[in-house]
């Protein structure tokens, strides 16, 4: 059936997805792009004691807002929700570029982060709503490529733009691209309109937001408060008429095992990135630029394995092999990296990192896609939000545990001391990968749907 313009719906889907993926790329890029610009920001605005919040405020706002967007999309339709997210991101980017002081820059980053939190969750749910499992696998692969590409490009883009046009340009560049993406999505995205009369779960949102903040900040006090609030949130969700995260979803084996494996993947693959760079710069003796180049093959491996997995799943409908192979290769890489020291040749280190990158790419979006199978369209936002939340929770736990292990083992500034402390970090990955592997092995043996 053709639209008013005479173009088939698939063409409209493609144009809308280009806009959505562009917005996702910008949102993820802005988690990375400020790193190389921070010294210039501090030099102009001051705030040397609070500059870390330029990054933390963005990530925290995105984590807190993500479940809200997921539920709003389920209740009121995802198109208007994703348009609001893109608009907030663009507005926040403009506010960042114009910020005259460090506190106002941090406040603008909060606004920008609130917008970015809706992008990741809502776009994943939109893919699940537009396409059945096999066809959606192709688009989830491109979604994964946005993550890998932005992680790779972030520091480079930030450095180049800052040198050429000043640090404000890293935010200004989002405005025209974001507006084009907003227009493409508004014009071409065609989704079912809905408005549900169910009451909004305000209590659940507030308590979950507090839990996310406490667990993300990861200080002993905040983590304890966050854990208590998380237990309170579960009690609230059991009685809520329209819970932000329906606990009934966990009765489905595919969903519960997918989110468990996703949490394990977040713990290992996302929580360890800083320590891989630290090994290269300490035990490996590389400078910051050289370390970035040495991490490049790993990042390319993430992108390549994600794209290949998406194509194979789209063709065959089989998906279990991807998380199983991911956890298996991850185990092999973690065990290999645990043997590294200051004498390990850099080419061998890079080979280990490539295997680790392949493992990471095989599960980035496959588990999100698996969790969406056999759930109602009205639950897709909640599913995407839950997978993202538990993956983020796993990442936070990984950062906390890895930090504790490294700090307790570190006793000297010598390369050998760094290598010894980091070996403990790599060993801690092993039990998490085993949990992820067991969860993946018990995923249902079903072929993903050809049709909704």
Mean pLDDT of the chain: 81
pLDDT of residue 345: 87
pLDDT, position 90: 94
Which pLDDT score is estimated for 176?
A: 93
Q: What is the dihedral of CA 166, 51, 417, 410, to 10 degrees?
A: -170
pLDDT in tens, 96-122: 999 999 889 999 999 998 998 888 888
pLDDT of res. 84: 93
pLDDT at res. 450: 60
pLDDT tens digit string along 7-46?
456 677 788 888 888 888 888 888 777 766 777 888 888 8
Has residue 451 got a pLDDT over 70?
no
Residues contacting 448, CB < 8 A, separation 6+:
132, 133, 134, 136, 137, 313, 317, 318, 319, 369, 370, 373
Tens-place pLDDT, residues 374-394: 777 777 777 877 887 788 778
What average pLDDT does the segment 202-216 reach?
84
Which DSSP category does 281 fall into?
H
pTM metric for this prediction: 0.76
Q: In this predicted model, which residue has the larger pLDDT, 336 or 412?
A: 336
- pLDDT-derived band at 223, boundaries 50, 70, 90: confident
DSSP state of 448: P
Q: Which residue from 293, 288, 400 is spatially nearest to 349, judged by alpha carbons?
A: 293
All structural domains of the chain, each given as residue ranges with its CATH number in brackets, are 1-197 (1.20.1250.20), 202-240 (no CATH), 246-452 (1.20.1250.20)
Contact 262, 320 (CB under 8 A): no
Average pLDDT (361-380) is 77
Contact 365, 124 (CB under 8 A): yes
Dist CA 35 CA 162 (whole Å) = 11
| Greater model confidence, 179 or 284 | 179
User: Confidence band (pLDDT; 50, 70, 90) for 2?
Assistant: very low
């Amino acid at each position: 059936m053709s639209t008013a313009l005479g173009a088939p719906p698939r063409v409209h889907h493609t144009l809308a997805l280009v806009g959505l993926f562009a917005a996702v790329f910008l949102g993820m890029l802005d988690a990375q792009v400020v790193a190389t610009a921070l010294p210039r920001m501090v030099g102009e605005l001051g705030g040397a004691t609070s500059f870390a919040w330029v990054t933390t405020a963005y990530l925290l706002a995105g984590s807190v807002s993500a479940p809200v967007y997921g539920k709003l999309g389920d209740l009121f339709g995802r198109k208007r929700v994703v348009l609001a997210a893109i608009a907030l991101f663009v507005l926040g980017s403009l506010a960042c570029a114009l910020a005259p002081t460090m506190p106002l820059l941090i406040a603008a980053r909060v606004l920008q982060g609130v917008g970015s939190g809706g992008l990741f969750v809502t776009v994943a749910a939109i893919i699940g709503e537009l396409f059945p499992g096999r066809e959606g696998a192709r688009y989830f692969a491109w979604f994964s490529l946005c993550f890998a590409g932005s992680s790779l490009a972030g520091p480079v883009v930030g450095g180049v733009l800052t040198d050429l046009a000043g640090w404000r340009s890293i935010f200004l560049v989002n405005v025209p691209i974001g507006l084009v993406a907003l227009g493409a999505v508004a014009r071409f995205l065609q989704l079912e309109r809905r408005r549900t009369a169910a009451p909004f779960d305000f209590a659940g949102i507030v308590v979950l937001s507090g839990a996310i903040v406490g667990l993300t900040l990861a200080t002993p006090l905040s983590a304890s408060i966050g854990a208590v609030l998380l237990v309170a949130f579960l009690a609230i969700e059991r009685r809520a008429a329209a819970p932000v995260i329906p606990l009934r979803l966990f009765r489905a084996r595919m969903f519960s095992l997918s989110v468990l494996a996703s949490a394990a993947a977040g713990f290992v693959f996302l929580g360890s990135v800083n320590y891989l760079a630290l090994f290269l710069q300490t035990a490996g003796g590389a400078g910051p630029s050289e370390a970035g180049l040495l991490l490049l093959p790993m990042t390319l491996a993430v992108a390549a394995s994600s794209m290949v997995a998406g194509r194979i799943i789209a063709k065959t409908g089989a998906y279990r092999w991807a998380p199983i192979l991911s956890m298996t290769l991850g185990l092999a890489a973690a065990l290999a990296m645990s043997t590294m020291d200051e004498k390990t040749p850099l080419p061998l280190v890079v080979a280990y990192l490539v295997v680790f990158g392949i493992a990471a790419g095989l599960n980035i979006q496959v588990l999100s896609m698996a969790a969406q199978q056999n759930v109602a369209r009205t639950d897709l936002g909640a599913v995407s939000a839950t997978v993202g939340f538990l993956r983020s929770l796993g990442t936070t736990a990984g950062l906390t545990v890895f930090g504790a292990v490294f700090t307790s083992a570190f006793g000297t500034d010598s390369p050998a001391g760094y290598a010894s402390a980091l070996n403990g970090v790599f060993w801690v990955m092993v039990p998490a990968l085993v949990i992820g592997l067991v969860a993946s092995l018990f995923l249902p043996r079903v072929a993903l749907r050809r049709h909704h």
